[in-house]
Structure 1
Amino acid sequence: MILKPSLVSLALSACVLSAPGVQADTSETHPHAAVEQSTFGTLPDGRTATLYRIVNDQGMAMTVTDYGGIITSLDVPDRRGTLEDVVLGFDSLSNYLSTAYQRANPYFGAVIGRYGNRIAGGQFEIDGHTYTLAKNDGPNHLHGGDTGFSRVLWHATPFDNAEGSGVVLTYTSPDGDGGYPGQLATTVTYTLTDANQLVIDYRATTTKTTPVNLTQHSYFNLNGEGSGSVLDHQLMINADAFTPVDATLIPTGDITPVQGTPFDFTEPMAIGARIDQNTTQLERGKGYDHNFVLKRAADGNAMRLAARVIAPDSGRVMEVSTTEPGIQFYSGNFLDGTLTGKSGRPYGHRSGFALETQHYPDSPNQSAFPSTLLSPGDTYRSRTVYSFSTQ
């Protein structure tokens, strides 16, 4: 969502009314929650990464590090009230810096920017000028390149207010960083509410026109991280269409109805029910790794329900709502057991899934897609809410 200055206050007010968990005045205290801080590790340049632990009055807890804005754990109750960590990741910075992790580069739990997802050929054009980016995914640019937001040390400020507790992360990407034009000042706010909601607010401004597409890359397993496959999870995606991809996973430009295809999740369906069907799109993605075109909210509200996931074994339910027009469903196709998580168990094939709210991949090169260009004087705002319950 890119807003002109005159519309910012009106649109933000609408978000406050429509989306629970928006960050309130930080001068109001919230007696049931606290943010604890501890050292998470040391970067190669000697800087220290900090871990922030946030707990709500239901006992749900989240840990976040200022390195990459990574959500390292998320403890959620099951139908019996038992808390388990439902996101893939590690319990020390050294694991995120390890050669094995950097080689696999799954982006566990990280903030993704400047541009989430792929840009074809590692380049785009603005006003006749071609900008060249790193090609870190075959012939294409992926998730901000080699020095994206997932690998920087953010400035973190914990807060505790009437809406919940959390961390405000800020980072300024310099003009030309990774090949992108403009100095981009970015704020990402994580709020954990007492309604068991994780609210993520994104904001950015720029000094030059530039594409911006921020997202969050947590992998979920609602039976608990390290507990095995997610193929039995029941998934609903609120989308009648998706954007098919070419052999390098760049959208073809088509918007294709999901009806009659393995991409139809308009009604709850097990993730694994059709994942191995012999279709070109599933073969190209090695499973699901596609952008879904979300339905507009019926009441015109900027927030829309994007997806719902149910884990039959644990009874945990996760709903995803967002202001974004799309969501990338990734079924953990490249997890292969070489990375061992917090539980001490390896992360095997399809042992976690990601639901990344976003604008469509390669939008800077696809004029028919919603624009991701942010201009000086405008403000990028986006919100995603992950709501947890049981059944």
Structure 2
Amino acid sequence: MLTESWLLSTVLVALLLLAAPIAFAAEAPKAEPFGETADGVAVSEYTLTNPNGMVAKLITRGATLRELHVPDAKGNLADVVLGFDDVAGYESEGNQYFGTTTGRVANRVAKGKFTLNGKEYSLATNNDPNHLHGGGPRSLDKVVWNAEPFGTDNGQGVTFTYTSPDGEEGYPGNLAMAVTYTLTNNNDLRIDYKATTDQATPVNLTHHSYFNLSGAGSSTVLDHELMLNADRYTPTDETLIPTGKLAPVSGTPLDFTKPTVVSERIDELVSTPALGYDHNYVLNKKGDELALAAKLRDPSSGRTMSVLTTEPGVQFYTGNFLMDQKGKGGKAYPKRSALCLETQHFPDSVNQPTFPSVILNPGQTYRQTCIYRFGSE
């Protein structure tokens, strides 16, 4: 005969089990065909979702974020990144690194040259007279990466891998890379980078989405409010190569230490070589700690995006060279209709001994994390 105490303890355990939250791992997203490159290489797409309605679509060409649907305060979704509907769009001249993984060395390298361990290396000068975002036809934004989808109890993701062979785009060493995107249940799009090499080589990877929190294809991003957690920036010459100095933003149009509408002082920069904002900011942070770099807010929708990074800098770019190219759904992307917040090491660090080093040596592991955190207010 069951005792009264045994029955009571059994009921209590059952109630505790019912009250306890149970974590279920999300299903791994499935690969869907997204067409082929001009060379006949198949491109796949993965769709990540979370319980809050967010959707991220990633393609294997360039380990690229193609769509990112984010809710506003009322739950209305908008795709907030620029992109294309097919592979041909991404292979067109109108693609300005939309949503791509850029490198091996993101940003600019002066005159496409650097010297490492006594040897000079020459890179493509695709941003005359400098090297930009990895260079020519085999830069990381243009190759097709391998993909491994996964699900966890905090979201869905995809790990993209690619090994850039020794000499590709002029860089030394076989560089094995992994870029992991995770869409979390708390509306973070997290990007984790990892790389190893068999020769000393420069590495500076970044993510290159163009954001408009009102929705991709909106006419302007100049109405957004931006805060940058940076008291200093790296001044440049007329070709946007840093001089090597760090200068205060205070008293200049570059001061975003308090939330400021992007349009407020941009006209003071139109006659400069940058034609607007295209500047590297020195973040107020210690070492490789994960810290806040920026916060963007769209007053019309209330959507917000906070950017966290382990990197020392962030490049703020206001789409000054967008040229009404047709993107997703046939929408035009006019000048300054989106902006980039690229977390990375400083431009031309490989030629700037006073900047944090971008050299990766055999036996070392390159790691960095960037989080785009979405909300509303």
TM-score normalised by the chain length of structure 1: 0.88
Structure 2: 5+ residue stretches without partners: 1-21
Query: Cα RMSD between the aligned structures?
Result: 1.5
Which one of 360, 370, 373 corresponds to residue 374 of structure 1?
360
Which one of 221, 234, 250 corresponds to residue 259 of structure 1?
250
Equivalent residues of 2:26, 2:156 under 8 A apart: no
Q: Deviations over 1:79-100 (max 9, x none)?
A: 21101100000121121123xx
Question: Which residue of structure 1 lines up, in the alignment, with residue 235 of structure 2?
Answer: 244
Structure 1 residues 30, 174: closer, same or farther in 2, change over 3 A? farther
Question: Which residue of structure 1 lines up, in the alignment, with residue 299 of structure 2?
Answer: 312
Question: Which residue of structure 2 lines up, in the alignment, with residue 40 of structure 1?
Answer: 34
Q: CA deviation at 1:307?
A: 0.1
Equivalent residues of 1:209, 1:373 under 8 A apart: yes
Structure 1 residues 158, 278: closer, same or farther in 2, change over 3 A? closer
Distance 2:232 2:112 in 1: 26
Distance 1:301 1:358 in 2: 11
Instruction: Look at both structures and tell me which one has the larger radius of gyration over its CA atoms.
Output: 2
Q: CA deviation at 1:37?
A: 2.4
Equivalent residues of 1:32, 1:57 under 8 A apart: no
Q: Deviations over 1:222-268 (max 9, x none)?
A: 00000110001000000000001111111111110000000000000
Question: Which residue of structure 2 lines up, in the alignment, with residue 210 of structure 1?
Answer: 201
Question: Which residue of structure 1 lines up, in the alignment, with residue 68 of structure 2?
Answer: 74
Question: Which residue of structure 2 lines up, in the alignment, with residue 16 of structure 1?
Answer: none
In structure 1, what residue type is equivalent to 2:375? S
In structure 1, what residue type is equivalent to 2:231? D
In structure 2, what residue type is equivalent to 1:274? R
In structure 2, what residue type is equivalent to 1:267? K
Equivalent residues of 1:30, 1:164 under 8 A apart: no
In structure 1, what residue type is equivalent to 2:293? A
Matched, 1:133 2:133: no
Distance 2:94 2:110 in 1: 21
Equivalent residues of 1:33, 1:57 under 8 A apart: no
Equivalent residues of 1:34, 1:55 under 8 A apart: no
Structure 1: 5+ residue stretches without partners: 1-27
Q: What number of residue pairs does the alignment pair up? A: 355
Q: CA deviation at 1:29?
A: 8.3
Q: CA deviation at 1:311?
A: 0.2
Equivalent residues of 1:292, 1:329 under 8 A apart: yes
Equivalent residues of 2:278, 2:316 under 8 A apart: yes
TM-score normalised by the chain length of structure 2: 0.92
In structure 2, what residue type is equivalent to 1:177? E
1:3-152 alignment to 2 at 5 Å? 30-32=24-26, 34-98=28-92, 103-146=93-136, 147-152=138-143
In structure 2, what residue type is equivalent to 1:240? D
Distance 2:165 2:225 in 1: 42
Q: CA deviation at 1:342?
A: 1.2
Structure 1 residues 31, 129: closer, same or farther in 2, change over 3 A? closer
